[in-house]
Structure 1
Amino acid sequence: MSSFNLLSIGNQALQANQSALNTVGQNISNVNTDGYSRQRVDFVSLQDRGGVFVNDIERISDQFMVRQVWSDTSNQSFYSKMESFANELDNLLAAESTSLSNAMNEYFGALQTAVDDPTSLPARQLFLAQADALQNRINAMDVSLTRQNDSINGQIDGVISQINSITPQIASLNEDIERFSASNSVPNEMYDQRDLLIEQLAGFVDISTSFDANGSVDIYIGDGQPLVLNDRGQRLVSVQGTPDATKNEVAVEIGSRGNLLTDKISGGQLGGLIEYRESSLANAANELGRIVMAFSDSMNDQHALGVDLDGELGGLLFRDINDFELMDARVSASTSNNSIIQQDLVQITDVQALKASEYELIFNTQNSFTLTRESDGALLTQSSFALATSAADVNQDGEYYWDTGTNELTVQVDGFKLSLNAQTSFAGGDAFMIRPVRNGASDFAVALTDPRDLALAAPLSASRSIDNTGTGTISVAATDVTTSTFGTAGTMTPAIDIEISDPGTGLIYTVYEQGTATVMATGNYVAGEAIALDGYEVTLSNNPAVGDRFSVNYNTGGVSDNRNALAMSDLQLAKLIEGSSYQDVYGALVTNIGTATNVAQINAQASQAVLDVSVNQRDSISGVNLDEEATKLVQYQQAYSASAKLINVSQTIFDTLLQSI
């Protein structure tokens, strides 16, 4: 081998090992740099003892593990966001200072005090004070739920802003990587920067990726909507929901239009916010509204069946759930609808049949519709409803009437009646959001302010004749004070007498208009069986004798009567919501939210543990090990020195040859 070849080999070796030393120095200097992947020099031997050259500066990265970290980052961010909001909701519902159940206990406790002394104005005032306290508690809970919803909207906007700041950077790096790759440069640091940005992006939203031959990456979200395509990044936008304007929706901006993605987003902070809003928060708000509406309506109904200290029939204790303003607020139309609505109302027909859900009504065509119950996804097509002969005849769940001439649609289902009246015909694609119970807590308000107006007494009194020889007893309860029986204030029209007789076939009762021989009703006597009359029921019990008589009159002067107060108090344990009491249903809500919160906590902890494992595995491959780099530093330093020695030897040989000539 000539001294020239030896010099060339030494020079190549010197340059190669200098490059190796520079690479080790780069690794050591970036040991604490987020996202940095260690690099390694790829030496290649030249043929025919031609020396060595650096084929590539290899970036040590396992793309499978990198993608796994992205996926695990998305999951961890999703569950972490779910957990933070779920904890707040759980504390709101279960804490003693904010619990609805505790407030109801205090309310019914004050009512029991009024039961004990119905003529006491201080006791009545205490009851009204507790009713006001209950209103404040319920309204405050609704405000807290609304605040959470507003916070979610704000965070959705913030996350979208973060995503929109990352995607252009990824697109720009794609462009730079392609340019450097085309010039045979090694853009390792750019790959690192891009991977780190993608990891940050995965924390905000679940993504999928694909790589092309030039090293560019395309990123997709939702059902495959492009977020980054080569050197172009798409913008996400936050838009006000329609028909539900209380929810911010997510859309990808394509040209001049936005393509909604909300229902298709999963993972990341954005997915966690949306999932929590649509599940836990919506369920809690709807269930709370249903409980409150069942409570206020049943209390109002029972209070109306009593009389106050002035002998007048009871009015509203709480705001009427079918107040026109409230009925009108339960429907919202999509802003993209073609039809123009003149009036839209939701009337509550049966609080016991209500579901803790929202509904979406969509017109498939001009002449057909589908109603979706959001809580369970049940689809109720038009054919699943029975057609009534008129709107007035729609009085049972599962019925509807559609007057295409006047564009009036009436549908009754799940304890509410929907009425839509449009100026023009409905059109395919028209959508409406129906919220029968969602605003129940915010709408709740005490309507009665004067303690004298509390109707704690029953309007009718019943008595047995002092000449009766049997053991028969009588009780009476009003069922409907809107009938003619109660048409004149302070009177019963007509008062009645009941006589027991035996025509030879067993005891029978005969109801007479009091003071006359006019028979109003007759039937076989059955102990304890209610006799339904006009707006009230009479119950005879025990063993009356033939000839025994009973009377029912207006409860004139019966201010110390507490029968209606007792009936109101009994509502605390009444099974009015799917076979359960108010507080039983609330307890079930607290349990469900508590369970969901516990699951969210477990998932957050588990997803963090999984992410930690994935990060450690990735870093064990890509991360910089200082001990290893220190060893390589010595190795390459010695090789560099030997290469310099080789050049020196070559120079000595060359000088010796020159001297020998």
Structure 2
Amino acid sequence: MTVNLYNTGVSGLLASQQQLATTGNNIANVNTEGYTRQRAEQNATTGIYSGGNIIGSGTYIEDISRVYDQFSYKEQLLSQTSLSNADSLNVDLGQLDQVMTFSGGAINSSIESFYEAINSISDNPSDLGLRNMAISQAKILSDDLNAINDDLNQMVKSTNGEIVEIADHISDISVQIGNINEQILFSQHSVQGQPNDLLDARDNLVNELSQYTSVNTIVDSLGVMTVMIGDGATLVAGSTSLSVGVQAGDPDPNQTVLSIVGPNSAVYLNGSSVGGALAAKYEFRDEHVAEVQSEMNRIAMAISGTINDAQHSGLDLNNEEGQNFFTDINTPLLEQSRVFASSKNSGNSEATVTITDISKIPTDEFMVEYNGTNYIMTNLTDNSTLDLGTQGSINSNAMDTYGFQFNEESGTPQAGDVFIIKPAHNSAALMGVTLTQASGVAASSAIEVTASNTNKGGASVEITNVSSATDAQQYAIDNNLAVEIYETTSGSFEYRVYNSVTSADIIPAESYVPGSGTTVQIPPSPATAIFEIEVDGLPSGSSAAAPEIFSIADAFGTGNNGNSVALGLTQEQGILNGGKNSFTQGLSISTATVGSAAKSAELTESTAQALFTQAYNRNQSTSGVNLDEEAANLLKYQQAYQAASQIISTANTIFDTLLAAVR
């Protein structure tokens, strides 16, 4: 009896000692990041049969386990992934917003200053100083667009560098988790009980991993964890650790891609859906920065193309057709840079893209694939497709909707060959001022319309487009151009274009509807139009004998400001998005879009932070150390320890009494 009582006391003493040690360990690690509260699981030992009864024989500590709720822990992981994604995007978009606010404002000021210089030329077309000022302001404008393109390129490079760093960090975590899995497996074979410190270390690594990517884990019966990231790609399987690699994009090397790399193979990993900070980097680079860069390129292209076209419509001080103010939007280098051929293409075909209509150019990217017979173009934004025709016979009209032309230059394509098209690519980077002489500013209009003094009614003739100033000038001189407008019968109207000296028809009488603004090409089809006029209004004449007459003649003069006025009007002209937006409107829309995205990211980050805090607190309420609770446990187990000591003391007294009785 005394021996049993002694054993019972010792078991209680040892159990209380382990309870005190566990509680003390919890208190010591109250500030240890990622520490999970531990609990000693105490059970009664099997009783002893004596005198027809089963008498209790004490207690023992069955296990020291972590107080762990897998559901609240997984909720914390998911919240951590969302928070890291939102936080990364918030920081990056904040930087992009600052760039757009500063650089966008500089570009807007440069546009204003350039047009102020052009408008000054309109006031005094022969002033070389004003013309030089316009060239200087054009240089500042092109420099500002070059600068913002450099800033955006640097953002892409920086983001790619961050992607590499994150991928390397994920690979390091993978190795560490694999090593811990191996240690846990060894400990299961060598000792009983849970390897709590190893489990905490592994959970801390998984928690860190969840900052960079979404994580799913499966733990087998031996405690070994399988870790999957993104859409389910395995990163760690037991002690086998895979790594995340980063490769140059194909065909665009700046669009780096991810893969899960094993000993003998690599599997593509979708960076945009991998979750966490890594997915935020891909979204920032491939959506937000790409959209802004495409818009800046499109604005640079629109400015260059519009000003250059206006130059060609007028005459400079030397009575010559105005030359390009800015870099031609269809230089061979620009045409080539808009097409990216995949390195996997088996053919040797080379292609270029020519801009045909600036107003139709989208910010979208396109993929052209040769299927063995035809080229099929896919809009990568909405996945719509166009059949461009066969090799050697591309249908140029098929791409009218988008304002560019895909050209085969050389070589032969093979089935499966792929090309990526970025219609406005490099326009901002390669924009420059090519006009060097002040006299080269085409301020004078080439031709002008003069109404006859005998005109009584409201008929009108306006020059709407000049494709070549010198050709238009010479054609008007050679053909003594004139236009007659009259009413043939009540409510029916006609016009004709003729030689005012010989009266020979250039365009015989044709009907028109007043108010419709009928466009007339001169010379008429099938010849290539040199310029266009618009016929409109209600003439007072009622027959061919009483028409309203307009002459079209050479307008050159050093004091003529007709073309500089027209050039100045392009500032407010709708050029972008199908003729809906001017340059500054397009710039403002882009800046506002980035600002809105940055504000939205800030709000999303705040929400994600609140959700993470809630999830973290829920998990800590179960797994975290509560000092008040541990202090109470410390007192309880101390008292139990003291009581167990009294049991041992009592057993000793009884044993001593028995020994004394038999002496």
What TM-score do you get using the length of structure 2 for normalisation? Answer: 0.90
Which of 128, 152, 159 does residue 166 from structure 2 map onto? 159
Tell me the amino acid that sits aligned with residue 2 of structure 2. S
Q: CA deviation at 1:465?
A: 5.2
After the TM superposition, which residues 245-260 of structure 1 pair with which residues of structure 2 at under 5 Å, given as runs? 245-260=253-268
Comparing 596-605 and 107-116, the one that deviates more = 107-116
Aligned position for 1:56: 63
Aligned position for 1:463: 450
The answer to whether the 8 A contact 1:206-1:271 is kept is no
- Measure the CA separation in 2 of the matches of 1:204 and 1:213: 28
Comparing 437-446 and 447-456, the one that deviates more = 437-446
The answer to whether the 8 A contact 1:60-1:621 is kept is yes
Comparing 574-583 and 14-23, the one that deviates more = 574-583
Q: CA deviation at 1:524?
A: 5.8
- Measure the CA separation in 2 of the matches of 1:503 and 1:643: 125
Aligned position for 1:515: 501
Aligned position for 1:366: 372
Q: CA deviation at 1:101?
A: 2.9
From the superposition, tell whether residues 213 and 225 of structure 1 become closer, same or farther in structure 2 (CA, over 3 Å). Answer: same
- Measure the CA separation in 1 of the matches of 2:615 and 2:158: 32
Which of 275, 279, 285 does residue 271 from structure 1 map onto? 279
From the superposition, tell whether residues 435 and 90 of structure 1 become closer, same or farther in structure 2 (CA, over 3 Å). Answer: same
The answer to whether the 8 A contact 1:458-1:478 is kept is no
The answer to whether the 8 A contact 2:334-2:427 is kept is no
Tell me the amino acid that sits aligned with residue 522 of structure 1. P
Deviations 1:554-605 (A, max 9, x none): 224x121111112112222222222222222222222222221111111111
Comparing 11-20 and 87-96, the one that deviates more = 87-96
Q: CA deviation at 1:71?
A: 0.8
Tell me, what secondary structure is at the counterpart of 2:61? Answer: strand
Which of 163, 174, 177 does residue 184 from structure 2 map onto? 177
From the superposition, tell whether residues 112 and 143 of structure 1 become closer, same or farther in structure 2 (CA, over 3 Å). Answer: same
Aligned position for 1:533: 522
Aligned position for 1:419: 407
Aligned position for 1:401: none
From the superposition, tell whether residues 231 and 370 of structure 1 become closer, same or farther in structure 2 (CA, over 3 Å). Answer: farther
Matched, 1:603 2:604: yes
Aligned position for 1:39: 38
Aligned position for 2:111: 104
Tell me, what secondary structure is at the counterpart of 1:317? Answer: coil
The answer to whether the 8 A contact 1:237-1:251 is kept is yes
Q: CA deviation at 1:258?
A: 2.5
Q: CA deviation at 1:390?
A: 6.2
Aligned position for 1:553: 553
After the TM superposition, which residues 292-371 of structure 1 pair with which residues of structure 2 at under 5 Å, given as runs? 292-341=300-349, 343-363=350-370, 365-367=371-373, 370-371=376-377
Identity %: 27
Q: CA deviation at 1:487?
A: 8.5
From the superposition, tell whether residues 536 and 143 of structure 1 become closer, same or farther in structure 2 (CA, over 3 Å). Answer: same
From the superposition, tell whether residues 179 and 494 of structure 1 become closer, same or farther in structure 2 (CA, over 3 Å). Answer: same
After the TM superposition, which residues 109-120 of structure 1 pair with which residues of structure 2 at under 5 Å, given as runs? 109-120=116-127
- Measure the CA separation in 2 of the matches of 1:11 and 1:204: 51
Matched, 1:378 2:378: no
Tell me, what secondary structure is at the counterpart of 2:436? Answer: coil
What TM-score do you get using the length of structure 1 for normalisation? Answer: 0.90
Aligned position for 2:562: 563
Q: CA deviation at 1:301?
A: 1.2
Matched, 1:434 2:421: yes
Matched, 1:22 2:21: yes
- Measure the CA separation in 2 of the matches of 1:80 and 1:63: 25
The answer to whether the 8 A contact 2:218-2:225 is kept is yes
The answer to whether the 8 A contact 1:115-1:562 is kept is yes
- Measure the CA separation in 2 of the matches of 1:611 and 1:201: 15
The answer to whether the 8 A contact 2:338-2:422 is kept is yes
Deviations 1:422-478 (A, max 9, x none): 6444133x3222111132221222221211100011111333556x36467865537
- Measure the CA separation in 1 of the matches of 2:470 and 2:324: 20
The answer to whether the 8 A contact 2:459-2:548 is kept is no
Q: CA deviation at 1:386?
A: 6.5
Q: CA deviation at 1:266?
A: 3.0
Deviations 1:60-100 (A, max 9, x none): 11111111111111111101111111111122223377443
Aligned position for 1:409: none
Q: CA deviation at 1:370?
A: 4.2
Tell me the amino acid that sits aligned with residue 253 of structure 2. A
Aligned position for 1:494: 479
Aligned position for 1:613: 614
What value does the CA root-mean-square deviation take over the aligned residues? 2.7
Unaligned stretches of 5+ residues in structure 2 = 48-55, 524-529
The answer to whether the 8 A contact 2:485-2:539 is kept is no
Tell me the amino acid that sits aligned with residue 24 of structure 1. T
From the superposition, tell whether residues 446 and 654 of structure 1 become closer, same or farther in structure 2 (CA, over 3 Å). Answer: same
The answer to whether the 8 A contact 2:388-2:396 is kept is no
The answer to whether the 8 A contact 1:202-1:268 is kept is yes
Aligned position for 1:224: 232
The answer to whether the 8 A contact 1:287-1:356 is kept is yes
- Measure the CA separation in 2 of the matches of 1:184 and 1:44: 16
> Aligned pair count?
636
Tell me, what secondary structure is at the counterpart of 1:362? Answer: strand
The answer to whether the 8 A contact 1:44-1:52 is kept is yes
- Measure the CA separation in 2 of the matches of 1:337 and 1:568: 45
Aligned position for 1:77: 84
Tell me, what secondary structure is at the counterpart of 1:54? Answer: strand
Unaligned stretches of 5+ residues in structure 1 = 399-411
Comparing 139-148 and 97-106, the one that deviates more = 97-106
- Measure the CA separation in 2 of the matches of 1:609 and 1:140: 39
The answer to whether the 8 A contact 1:360-1:432 is kept is yes
Aligned position for 2:631: 630
From the superposition, tell whether residues 126 and 473 of structure 1 become closer, same or farther in structure 2 (CA, over 3 Å). Answer: farther
Comparing 184-193 and 89-98, the one that deviates more = 89-98
From the superposition, tell whether residues 565 and 475 of structure 1 become closer, same or farther in structure 2 (CA, over 3 Å). Answer: farther
From the superposition, tell whether residues 96 and 331 of structure 1 become closer, same or farther in structure 2 (CA, over 3 Å). Answer: closer
Tell me the amino acid that sits aligned with residue 19 of structure 1. Q
The answer to whether the 8 A contact 1:164-1:235 is kept is yes
Q: CA deviation at 1:262?
A: 3.0
From the superposition, tell whether residues 544 and 154 of structure 1 become closer, same or farther in structure 2 (CA, over 3 Å). Answer: same
Matched, 1:202 2:188: no
Which of 445, 465, 476 does residue 479 from structure 1 map onto? 465
The answer to whether the 8 A contact 2:89-2:284 is kept is yes
Tell me, what secondary structure is at the counterpart of 1:95? Answer: helix
